[in-house]
A and B are shown apart, each in its own frame.
Chain A
């Protein structure tokens, strides 16, 4: 009796094909990942456009109109898509991971393929948002001075600055979602309690340190100095940490009910 081995290079399935298969797995139901969020976006846009239109129609003085336009710039109407993508990431790790395990995918190949899908979605969506921002500018706020994609928070009128901002925010939400879901898959409800307890302690602890050392003004100054753009750039740190930690956690996780 001999043990049969996986002989020959030809019979060994390349890991890269499993990575790409996992990548595709996240798009097999593209309605949820691509169609639905943009339908929601379109709906929000239409509602917003009607509101901009009503407001600008009802205002007569030039100063009021300028005020209103300035106010439109503080909209958060498109932020839902970032949260939506975080939920996509949570579902990918919590539900697609067990399926991929059933399909015989290693955790490593799953994580690589999944990360690739997150990056691809981030890049694609960031490009679309950037294009929409330029259309918004070119049409003087869709003809009514509205703003949904050119926002006051983000400076930067240069295309790559806009693209970069959107990209980093997407990546942040994807990988935070993935890492949090990995904690759940590995340690279940108890892991969630521990994680949120630790997060709460960290935040309260930091606040306590700032209070005790009377450094709140310095903290405030730092945020002002860094600005939204800088803050988005700083998000790369938690994004990268989440991506790495997410893998380390998932590497020893077993899908269970």
Chain B
């Protein structure tokens, strides 16, 4: 398996604020990777560092085996149209779609046209006058039609309605199947994309809290529900991620269960359910660990 992104001990500080705190990770070629986390967790900063738009304070970044900063051959293979991408004041979408092919060798004009129709994007209206969703559509279309070997989508669908979001997922999957590439997608709508993602990275307060394949994650936690005494007996000694009590009933989320565990749970009359990716992210990013307390003043 080939590695497209290799990051080691990456740190980014803005004055006394540490936005990215000693992060190490790998992203393999031709995967759809979710970069998830709360607002201000460091997702955008991470993407800016990976595309050479921002400069690291410490650590190393390798994209296609090289440092991306001011590296034309590397950056020519990446596309990163930000959620809050700025465009020149007088630009209309038509100017973006006319110029983008000059920068992306794999640009597919036919695909771009189809996407423009899908998203019903008015081409000759000034970008300043577009709605939030239409503005997002420009970035989505550039990201998809560019077919860059490494494409970043940062909150790509702010303001897009449910139909347009589904269109994005469908087109992404279709095109990805025909033209495999590496996609890094950051989003808050975790449940919507959970079937899309093959790899999940969860970042919280500048640190990686989850870095696993989607399959691994699906098995990594389960919720055990039933009479409280039976639940308590079963979860004793296990890693407890979450707990809910309701009268004599309890529902506890625990870590990985193997086949024997599952057998035992069923034998004890307990109900086992999987935990959604969204639930997992919420559980892992709301825990207050004492070592993150002093980070902002570090």
Give chain A's interface residues, CB within 8 Å of chain B: 1-6, 11-15, 18, 21, 24-25, 28-29, 31-32, 91, 95-96, 98-109, 251-252, 254-255, 257
Contact = CB atoms under 8 A, between A and B. Distances in A.
A108 B52 CA distance: 12
Interface in B1-48: 1-4, 6, 26, 28-29, 48
A21 B102 CA distance: 6
Contacts of A108: 70, 72
Contact of A5 (B48, B54, B65, B70): B65
Contacts of A11: 73
Interface residues of B, number: 51
A149 to B, nearest CB: 27
B176 interface: no
A1 B3 contact: yes
B74 A102 contact: no
Contact of A105 (B85, B86, B103): B103
A107 B70 contact: yes
19 contacts: A1-B1, A1-B3, A4-B4, A6-B64, A6-B73, A6-B74, A13-B72, A13-B77, A14-B72, A28-B98, A32-B88, A96-B88, A102-B79, A103-B104, A104-B78, A104-B104, A104-B148, A105-B103, A255-B86
B80 interface: yes
Contacts of B87: 95, 99
B99 A13 contact: no
A9 to B, nearest CB: 10
A18 B103 contact: yes
Nearest to A16: B72
Given A4-B2, A6-B66, A251-B70, 18 more contacts: A3-B6, A4-B3, A6-B65, A6-B74, A6-B77, A21-B103, A24-B99, A25-B102, A95-B89, A99-B96, A101-B51, A101-B80, A102-B79, A103-B99, A104-B75, A104-B104, A106-B71, A107-B70
Given A1-B3, A15-B72, A95-B87, A102 B80 contact: yes
B218 interface: no
Nearest to B62: A3
A104 B91 contact: no
A255 B79 CA distance: 15
Contact of A106 (B54, B70, B92, B100): B70
B53 interface: yes
Nearest to B96: A99
B76 A18 contact: yes
Interface string B101-115: 011110000000000
B200 to A, nearest CB: 19
B101 to A, nearest CB: 9
A13 B76 contact: yes
A3 B73 contact: no
Nearest to A109: B72
Contacts of A18: 72, 76, 103
Nearest to A21: B102
Contacts of B99: 21, 24-25, 28, 103
Interface string B229-251: 00000000000000000000000
Interface string B152-168: 00000000000000000
B55 A99 contact: no
A104 B76 contact: yes
B66 A98 contact: no
Contact of A13 (B6, B29, B73, B82): B73
